[in-house]
Structure 1
C-alpha cells in the first residue's frame, strides 16, 4: 500500500530488469515475473520495445491502488514511447483504453446498458441455445475434435455478435476479421481486417442513429445521434468490443487444458455441479491469461509506494497476474482451490478501466464449462499434453488447438 514519507525513508530505485518476450507453452507462470515478485513489491523493467524503463507494481493492494488512483493516468501514453512488449503499437487518441475522466465515463456510458447484470442475463438463453447447437454438431461428427476450432473460438464470437447486434448474415465475415486482427504474424492482413471491420461498424452505426434498441451498435448509434460521442469514437468502441471475444477463447482454452491435465478437478466438476461457479472464479484467478503486462499509466505527481518514490512523469505498469498470486490475499496461491472463498481476483482488471465485458465473459465461460463437462462424458486430451500447440508471439495466452476425444 502507499506509505507516508514520515514513517518510512525513501529508498533508492531498484535496478532495471530486462523482461524479454517469452513464448511460454502451457499454463506455466512467467518465470521473469515470478522473480520480480520475489525481489520486492516495486520493480523497474525494460520490455523488448519502446523506450526507457517503467515501474512495475505486483502486490494486490498496490495494483488496486494504482489502477483506481487518479494520480496515475492513461491518456499521456498516447504521446510516449513507453517500454512495451510489442513492436507495432498504435494507441488511438480518444479510445476508451486511453481515456481518462471525464471522457472515459462519457464513452463507457454510451454502451454500458448492454453490460449491466440484467443486460447480460438477457443474453444467457440465446447464448445457451447457440452453444447447444455447436455441441450437437460436435457430437454428431464424433471424436476426435479440436475444441478451439469447433467451440471455443466460434462460440464467444457468436455471443459477442449477439450482444453487438451483428446480423446473422455478417457473422462469418466478423469471425474472419476477428481471427485476422488477432494474428501477430501478418501485420498487413491484420490491418486490412481492421479496416474492413471498422468500415462495417461505421455504416451500421450510421444506420442506427435513431435506434431505441438495446444492442451495442444501436446504443452507440443513438449516442452519436444525440451528440454524446463522435462517430469515430463509436466505431473504436465497437471494434474493441467485437475483438474481445478472442480473450474468452484463449482463457477457456487454458481452463479446459488445466482441467484435462488435472483429472481430479474435472471429475469434481462432473460430480458436484454446485461448485462450478466457484471453480470458474478460481480458474480465472489462476490461469496466466496474458503475456507480460498490458497498457501503462503515467504518474501525474510524485507518489511513494513501499518507500520507493515514483516521480511525476514516470511510466507505471501493474501486473494483474502477480496480484492474483499475492499470498497475502490468496493463501497458497499456486494451488487451484475450488473451495477458496472469498476469491477477489482481478482477472478483469480494477478501477475505471476494468473490463466492461467481464460479466459477459463470465457468462460465456460458465456456459462452456457446463456444456462440455455435462455433454462430453470421458472428455480427455487426444494427444499428450506436451503436444498441444500454443499461441506464439501473442499478448493473450492460450492453446492454438485443443485436440480432444471422449
Structure 2
C-alpha cells in the first residue's frame, strides 16, 4: 500500500504525532507533491496557514498555470489542457476567481440555503427510516452519511439521483491517493465525460436547478467546458466532505459519550457543536496547494519562489497557540476561527450548505436512536487514510 503523504497523516481523529511535532518545532516540512513531481512545503501552524490562505499576492492558487501543474498534465494536449482549466474555481486567483465566485455565491447564501431546509429535513428522515429498516448492525456510512448529502447535491445541481452509485464510486477512487496516478486520471476523464452529458442536456433544456440557472443566466459567459468543470467540482465537493463529516463525526460522538449525551440534551446548541466537530476532525487534509510567486519568509524559513505549499489543516486546527486544550472534543467550546473550510478568498463556497446538512442530521440521528452505539470494537473501524477527504470506509452501528 502506498505511503500516506505527511500532510494527510492521521492517528485516529487527529493528526499523526510526527505532524504535531513538526508544528510544535515551528518547522516547514518538505513533503512529496500531490500532483507532478518534486517536493512541497507543509505549513501546519494555525497562524501560518491563515496567512498563506489569505495572501494570494504571494501565494497563488493558480497551480494549473505553473510549470508543476503543466508537468502533472503532461499527457494532455494544449487544447485539452485549456479546456480543463476553464471555470476552475479553485485554480485561479482574483480577479478571475472573484468573477467565478460572484456567479455562484447567490446559490449558496444562507437565505437561499434556508429554502432548502425543509427538503433537507425530509431527506434526513427518509434515510433514518432506511437505517431503521436495515436494523442493528447497519452501516451508517452506506445507509445515512453518504446518501443524505449526495441526494441534496443531486437535487441542487440537477443530477439524476439514479446515477449516485456510479459517481460516488468514481469520486471515492479518484480521491484515493494510494491508486496509480494514471488510474485516477482515467477516472477523472470518465467523470468529466459524465458531466459533459449533463451540461449538454441542460443547455438544450435548462431546468430549475443550479445547472439550469447557470445556463439561463450565464450561458453567454460560460461555455460548455466551464460549466462542466464548475458542475464537476460542486458535485464532488458537495457530497464527499459532508458525507465524511457525518460518518466520522458520529464515531467521534460515540467515542466521547459525555459529549454525545450533552448534545442529546441540548439539541439547540447544534450550531456551535458542529463548529467544534469541524475543528476537531478537519476531514479536508489540505485543499488545493499554493505556489509562491516570490521568495517568502514564513517564520524563520524562506520558501523559494515557484515552490508548492501544502497545508496540515488537522494540525493547524489543533494548534495550542490557537485554542486551549486542542486535543479535547468540547462541544461547549465557543466557536473558533478554525480552517476546516479554508480561509480567505477561497473559503469553501458550500460551507453554508454543509453546516445546514450537519445541523439537521446529527440531532435527528440522536433523537431517532437514543441508544445508538458502535456495532464493532473501535479498533475494527476502518478509516480511509489515503483519501483526499478523511473519513471512514464503514461504520456499523447498533441501538
Q: Same fold (TM over 0.5)?
A: yes
Q: Which residue of 2 aligns with 1:37?
A: 23
Show the counterpart of 1:271: 265
Match of 1:81 among 64, 68, 71: 68
Give the TM-score normalised by the residue count of structure 1.
Answer: 0.85
Alpha-carbon separation, structure 2, partners of 1:307 and 1:20: 21
SS of 2:68's equivalent?
Answer: coil
1:64 aligns with 2:50: yes
What secondary structure, in the 3-state scheme, does the structure 2 residue paired with 1:182 have? helix
What TM-score, normalized by structure 2, do the two folds share? 0.86
SS of 1:44 mapped into structure 2: strand
User: Which residue in 2 is equivalent to 1:150?
Assistant: 143
- 5+ residue gaps, structure 2, are none
Matches within 5 A, 1:40-59: 40-47=26-33, 50-59=36-45
The aligned length equals: 378
- In the TM superposition, 1:2-401 aligns within 5 A as 19=5, 24=10, 26-47=12-33, 50-69=36-55, 70-81=57-68, 92-94=84-86, 95-166=88-159, 170-183=160-173, 184=176, 185=179, 187=184, 190-191=187-188, 193-208=190-205, 213=208, 215-225=209-219, 227-244=220-237, 245-291=239-285, 293-401=286-394
Coordinate RMSD, CA, aligned = 2.8
Q: After TM superposition, give the deviation of residue 307 of structure 1 in Å.
A: 3.4
Distance between the aligned counterparts of 2:186 and 2:31, measured in 1? 32
Q: Please state how far the C-alpha of 1:350 moved relative to its aligned partner.
A: 0.7
Report the CA distance shift for 1:376/1:106 in structure 2 as closer, same or farther (over 3 A). same
- Taking structure 1 as reference, are residues 202 and 353 closer, same or farther at Cα in structure 2, changes over 3 Å only? same
1:181-214 Cα deviation digits (max 9, x unpaired): 22135648734641442123222331356x7x4x
Higher percent of residues as helix? 2
1: CA distance, partners of 2:9 / 2:298: 31
Asked whether the equivalents of residues 127 and 364 of structure 1 are also in contact (C-alpha less than 8 Å), the reply is yes
**Where does residue 12 of structure 1 map in the other structure?**
none
Q: Deviations over 1:202-238 (max 9, x none)?
A: 22331356x7x4x32123212442x222221111010
Are 1:110 and 1:219, in contact at CA under 8 Å, matched by a contact in 2? Answer: no
Q: Where in structure 1 are there 5+ consecutive unaligned residues?
A: 1-17
For the residue of structure 1 that corresponds to 2:309, the secondary structure is strand
8 A contact 2:149–2:242 mirrored in 1:
yes
| Whole-angstrom CA distance in 2 between matches of 1:200 and 1:19 | 35
CA contact 1:177–1:193 (8 Å) conserved in 2: no
Any idea what SS the aligned residue of 1:132 has? helix
Answer whether contact 1:285 1:346 (CA < 8 A) is retained: yes
Q: Does the aligned pair in 2 maintain the 1:25–1:390 contact within 8 Å? A: no
CA distance 1:288–1:348, change in 2 (3 Å): closer
Q: CA deviation at 1:20?
A: 5.1
Q: Which runs of 4+ in 1 moved over 4 A?
A: 18-25, 88-91
Write the deviation string for residues 230-264 of structure 1: whole angstroms up to 9, x where unpaired. Answer: 22111101011111211111122111111112211
SS of the aligned residue for 1:220 comes to helix
**Residues 179 and 161 from structure 1, CA distance in 2 versus in 1: closer, same or farther, beyond 3 angstroms?**
same
Check the 8 A contact 1:19/1:32 in 2, yes or no. Answer: no
Q: CA, structure 1 residues 200+178, in 2 after alignment: closer, same or farther (shift >3 Å)?
A: farther
